[in-house]
Amino acid sequence: MKIAIAGTGYVGLVTGVCLAEHGHTVVCVDVDKEKVERMRQGISPIYEKGLDELMKKNQDRLSFTTDFSGAYRDAEVIFIGVGTPEKRDGSANLKYVYEVAEQIAASVEQDCVVVIKSTVPIGTNDKLEVFLREHLIHSVNIFVASNPEFLAQGTAVRDTLYPSRIVIGTEMKAVEEVLMRVYEGFDAPVLVTNRKSAEMIKYASNDFLALKISYINEIANLCELVGADIEDVAAGMGYDERIGSKFLHAGIGYGGSCFPKDTKALHWLANFHDYEMKTVKAAIEVNDHQKLRLIKKARKYYKELKGLTVAVLGLTFKPGTDDLREAPSLVNIPILLDEECRIQAWDPVGEEKFQERFPEGIEYYETPEEALEKADLCLIFTEWNEVKTLSPQCYQTHMRHPIVLDGRNCYRPEIFQGTDVIYDSVGRGACGKE
């Protein structure tokens, strides 16, 4: 099929590349000329495992352009995968979705299906279909379907090629049949429902996972107070099939492009309808507090942080991506800068984007060991493999005062017993040198 993709962020680009891998002819549209030119050369604008290789492999079926009119004119299916960032009040900003919809309405010259991949508030698909039909230039039929994505950054290609489920939200059998043709060859269960239910499935799924993360972080904080080990507690919980072991890894909170904005958007939507989702509200509040957990721990070891040399290992919100959105580092490093700390940072892929936000005040290093040199304190924000393989001896050798505050529980605490390192993680208490 001939498919057009609006937007080349995580959702749009990965969707387009994976659909090309399944044999469709795909054109991806973006407004950034420089970005488009790089993608034409097979260079992905985002760090995602396997994406560059698939772009090059499918270059005969995959193209990139800024010419939205030419891309949408004769497309059978148009996917909208642009961002829906949060507004100041927490609601979803649909500006980019409607900008694309206006371009589509002005361009299409044959019947087509517009598929909303972007995460949008419940009811948006219905409104968008009305908007498109009201703004059509040519006399054609246009239909809107909801098809939410369930990819995770760092595993986006795998999640798209081998999805846990395919959700199709439509009010028409003919539209369902078009989407079934798009996903022919994908080995995944397919759920067909109405558009509002499909939109809600996306929010309900993401917010449930956010709830699970915030819950285990609350349990972890209590474990520290009563002397329990959160790793053992989570393992014991995970054996229960009703609970499951995934998303029970305690740490310093969730980040990224989905959970923070989707929890706020659903909370805002409920308030708009004069209803309060207390569980979602609590998850948001817990996560905001959890991100500062390491700073609070640091103040146990130093009455004043001013003037300390602080090693920061990991800047991105999770390993396997260069995405900084809602990363704990963005909350903690400004506090350290205000305290006039000397910050020695390391991240294998996030440095360039972090420097754009913080062009001054931070020294960046090529290896974790270099970042640790003569540090008074180490804060671990991202569980990169390069961090997880560091030995206690490494911290002891390189740091001036080996105090390691681990926000991702990268190590078993007992390996620091008998060393000169103070190791303090989440939900397990401190160990090492008294």
CA 148 – CA 198 distance, rounded (Å): 7
SS3 of 126-153: HHHHHHHHHHCCCCCCEEEEECCCCCCC
CA 366 – CA 334 distance, rounded (Å): 22
**2, containing H or E segment:** strand 2-6
Contact (CB, 8 A) for 7 and 66: no
CA 419 – CA 414 distance, rounded (Å): 10
Give the chain's largest Cα–Cα span: 78
CA 76 – CA 364 distance, rounded (Å): 48
Using only C-alpha atoms, the chain has a radius of gyration, in whole angstroms, of: 24
- Considering 28, 112, 223, 258, which one is annotated as catalytic? 258
**Burial call 135-144: b when 16+ CB within 10 Å, e when fewer:** ebeeeeebbb
Q: How far does Cα 330 stand from its chain's mean position?
A: 15
Q: Where are the beta strands (DSSP E) in 30-76?
A: 62-65
Q: Which of 155, 143, 117, 167 lies closest to 15 in space, CA to CA?
A: 117
CA 166 – CA 387 distance, rounded (Å): 35
DSSP 413: G
Does the annotation mark 410 as catalytic? no
Q: CA of 239: how far to CAs of 47, 184, 216, 426, in Å? A: 34, 35, 15, 21
State the catalytic residues. Answer: 258
